[in-house]
Structure formats: C-alpha cells, structure tokens
Amino acid sequence: MEVLRANKLTKVFGAVRAVDGVSLSVAAGEAVALLGPNGAGKTTTLHMLLGLVTPDSGSITIFGKDFARHRRELLGRVNFAASYVGLPGQLHPIEILNVFARLYGVARPARRVRELIELLELGSFARRPFRTLSSGQQTRVQIAKALLNDPGLLILDEPTANLDPDVADRIRTLLLELAAASGRAMLITSHNMAEVARMCDRIHFIAEGRIVASGGAVELASSYGVADLEEVFLKVART
Amino acid sequence: MNVSLSRIGAVMLRDFYSLRHNPPYLVEILFWPTLELVTWGCVSLFLATRNFPAAVAGLLGAVLLWQMTSRPQGDLARCFLEDVWARNLVNLYVSPLSTAEHLAGMVLCGLARVMASTAMLALLAWALYGFGVFTLGPALLPYVVTLLAMAWALGVFAIGLVVRFGGSAQAFAWLLAFAVQPFAAVFYPVSVLPGAVQAMAQAVPASYIFEDMRAVLAGTQPSGGRLAMAVLLDLVYLGAAMAFLYRGLRHARASGRLSRFYQ
C-alpha cells in the first residue's frame, strides 16, 4: 500500500530553484532515503511533505488523500524528528511527551508516554530539563516524540547526526524493528551512508533540486561502477 | 477537522510546565504590576493631599485595569516566542494543532495569569490605599472583557509580525501595549491630549473604557455608547489581527520562513 506520493514538487526561493520536479513514493513498511550534498533540496522537500513549505507546483498524496486539502488530518498520522529542531529546554522529557501526546490526540497519553520512556530507555533522565541532556539523550527524546502517535509515516531528517556510534546503532536497530513490526513507512535523510545502506530499501540521490539517481544501495553502487554508497555520494556531489 | 479541547489543553499544559520550571517569571508576574501600583498609589496619595481627592480612585483604577491589556498582550507574545526560542515551533506546525487552537491555549493561559495577578493587586490596592475595585460596580465586567479583547488583538498582531518578518520583529511583541498606552488615556482624559492625538485616541478601544471608568468614579452611570464603541473597535481589531496572522502564515509557508524558525 502506498503511503506517500509526491509528484513533480517544485519550489523556487528568489533566484534559487531549491526543488525542481521531485517525484517519489514510499510504501507501507518501506524505508526510503533522500540523499544529497548540503543545499541539494532534501530538507525543503521534507518540509513540503510536512506542510511547512508550500510547493510552487506539484502535488502530495498521503494515505491516498490530497495533503493540501487534508493537511491537519494527515499530520495526525505522520510524525517527524530532526537533529536541528529543538524542544522546550526547561521542560522534562516526560512533560514534553505529555504535551505532544495530547497535541496528537493519543488515546491514553500517560500509558503511551510510559511505553516510550521504557522503549527508548529515557527513564534515567525523564525528569531532568531537556536542555541539560546530552545530544544523544535529546535525540532519543525527539525520536520518542516522533513515535507518540504511532505514525504510519515517519519522516526523519538526519536522525542520528548527533549520536555516538553505539547510540546511533541502537536507534537504527529500534527504528528497523518498529518498521518491521508495524508496517510503518519511513522517509529518511542522512549523511551516514552505512546507515542508509542498512536501513533503507530504496534511495534517491538529489542534486541541485533534482533526483539524479534512484535504486537500492547495491544497485546504485553497481550502476555507478563503485564499491559502496559513499562513493556514489561522492560521484553525485562532484558531478 | 474540528477544534480539539485536548490540543488546546496541550498548549496550556506546555505553558504550565514552563511556568513551573521558571520561578523568576512567577515572581515577575507580580513584581512589576505591584511596583506600578505602589508608585501610582503614592502619587495619588500626594495628589489627594493637594485637594484632588478623586485622583486616588482614578489612578488606582487605571493601574488595575491597564493590567488587563498590558499583561495579556505580552503574555500571548511570550508564549509564542518561547517556542521560537526553543526551536520548537516546527514541531508544533507539523502536528495537527490548528492556529485557532494554538491561540486559544495561549489566551486561556494568559487569562489565568492576569486574573491571578490582578486579584493580588486588587487586594493590595484595598489594603494599602483603601481602594476597592468593585467601586466600579457592574461596569467592571464589560471593562475587563473589552480591555482583554484589545490585549488579544494586539497580541495576535504581534505574533503575526514575528511570523511575517521573523525573529527580528520580536521587539514589537513586547512594546505594542506600551506604544498604544499614550493614546489609551489610561491616566488622563482624552481632552488633555493635543487635537491630532485625540483623533488617534478615538481609534483605541481602551480610551473609551478609561473615560467611562473616570466618569463612573465621579458618580455618573456607565455609558452604553462608550462601551459599544469599544466593543465594535475590538471586534474590528481582532478580525484584522487574525487576518494579518493567517496571511503571515501563508506568506511564511510560501517563502520558507516557517521552516527556518529553527535557525
């Protein structure tokens, strides 16, 4: 079942064509990566899919509904985490999760918050101000927030950017387990090619606002005649 | 999608948590208004000794009622800006929270705060200067509602400025009520203002309320005409402020500014 379809999305900021005719889809249970150098248009694409940026042209369909017409309803079934987005620094993780559980209309918020605190091992710092947490702990809170409404589509913008290899690996494993168990669709951006190769079924490379290559990690490496995804990235970025 | 009480409650819960972790702000809610009350109270006592007996009630009534505009306007803007500063605005705008629900939550929090602080000030005014706010009689309720409506119109406009022009516009969020104060005739009648400024005061809902308050304290009945004019202006300004905010949000989504509030 197709969860997300973006068709010919275009966004121009002044003289800059940030996104130029991007089309992509994500099916239930599938993890899709959007890769590319800084400024390639990844984040703008994600922000259009989240309703933060209005596309100049193109269309977005989520769960079969037109996103432009059903934005708030669909946002209740989607969630998002990014390394660059903050949360209220004075609040404790348990409070942050309480607030967002209610924002997303979670049926039994206290129970869901307890589940996620356990799942993401937030217990030891659940009652400390968010701003005093390490970046790894903050990312785990962000991921917990993104899972609160058990979203059918999870959008992650560089989710493990601030994590040490151990925590990053555990987050990846958790996300993969959750995707496998729930049939959740995921759309991910990352600069960690090994992470993408491990997590994602399909990969889109984006450069100067356009998708320039698509396929599985092995397939892409083969078609570019290189050993791995890292080298594909370098070829795309330097072309 | 309908308005959700759960989402409005979530905005209030966020504000409650924020207040709970910020004791200096709790103190500040009472500190500045109390300072203002004491200052004007002393001025009015001095004027009373110079044969201006009505000054005590007029000035203290003005201080208490002006809280209904200055505090909620600043509170509304502060609630919104806290999420800008925390880089949390993006999280709110990718959730199902509507602008109306967001505003409703912030307005209700501000209402609770201003009621608590004004109750304390009213008690203080009675204890220190013998001024009872209920001297204003049944007109007190419409005065409060009308001044709150003006505060919210200013607060929504301030949020609209930040949304439209970015974080650099936040100085206006704090200054708007003070910018309006000279034209609101809070501590003096409109008639003492220069001619052109008098015309501007006619466009400020609070000026009708403070004129009426002074008249009531001087022993006349509240004027339905003044109240109606204040309500009418409030409705116009609330509508205009909401339209400005929604237009600002559309612009922020089109220009990409909304997604850059994390920077």
Strand partners, A153: A78, A185
Q: Do B97 and A103 touch (CB under 8 A)?
A: yes
For an interface test with A, the pick among B5, B82, B88, B258 (most A C-beta atoms closer than 10 Å) comes out as B88
- Whether the CA torsion A198, A202, A208, A212 is positive or negative: it is positive
Q: Which pLDDT does position B54 carry in this prediction? A: 66
A23 domain-assigned:
yes
A107 domain-assigned:
no
ipTM here: 0.92
- Residue B52 clears pLDDT 70, i.e. is over it: no
pLDDT digit string (tens) for A82-120?
Answer: 988 999 999 999 999 999 999 999 999 999 999 999 988
Q: Do B259 and A52 touch (CB under 8 A)?
A: yes
Chain B residues at the A interface, defined by Cβ less than 8 Å, are 1, 4, 6-7, 9-11, 13-14, 17-18, 21-22, 82-83, 86-88, 90-98, 250, 253-256, 258-259, 262-263
Q: How far apart are CA B31 and CA A156, in angstroms?
A: 44
pTM: 0.89
CATH number at residue A60: 3.40.50.300
pLDDT digit string (tens) for B146-188?
Answer: 999 999 999 999 999 999 988 778 887 877 888 898 899 998 8
CA dist list (Å): A65 to A5, A50, A106, B212:
10, 14, 22, 55
Residue numbers in chain A where pLDDT is lower than 70: none
A181 domain-assigned:
no
Q: Do B21 and A90 touch (CB under 8 A)?
A: yes
Q: Which two tokens stand for residue A233?
A: 């990235």
A122 domain-assigned:
no
A60 domain-assigned:
yes
β-pairing verdict for A185-189 and A153-157? parallel
Q: Which pLDDT does position B51 carry in this prediction? A: 67
Q: How many domains does chain B have?
A: 1
Q: How many domains does chain A have?
A: 1
Q: How far apart are CA B160 and CA B149, in angstroms?
A: 16
CA dist list (Å): A154 to A13, B30, B62:
26, 44, 53
pLDDT digit string (tens) for A37-56?
Answer: 988 999 999 999 999 999 99
**DSSP assignment letter at B220:** P
A41 domain-assigned:
yes
- What is the phi-psi region of residue A209: left when phi exceeds 0, alpha when psi lies from -120 to 50, beta otherwise? left
Flag whether residue A14 sits within 8 Å of chain B, measured between CB atoms: no
A29 domain-assigned:
yes
Task: Collect all residues of chain A within an 8 Å Cβ-Cβ radius of residue B258.
Answer: 52-53
Please give the residue range of the domain that contains residue B109.
Answer: 5-260
Q: How far apart are CA B195 and CA A71, in angstroms?
A: 51
Instruction: Select from A186, A108, A201, A192 the least CA-distant residue to A143.
Output: A186
Q: Which two tokens stand for residue B258?
A: 């909304």
Q: What rounded mean pLDDT belongs to chain A? A: 92
DSSP symbols for B88-129: -HHHHHTSS--HHHHHHHHHHHHHHHHHHHHHHHHHHHHHHH
Please give the residue range of the domain that contains residue A30.
Answer: 1-77+153-162+187-239
Is the CB of residue A174 less than 8 Å from the CB of residue A203?
Answer: no
Q: How far apart are CA A161 and CA A214, in angstroms?
A: 23
Nearest to A72 among B88, B96, B253 (CB): B96
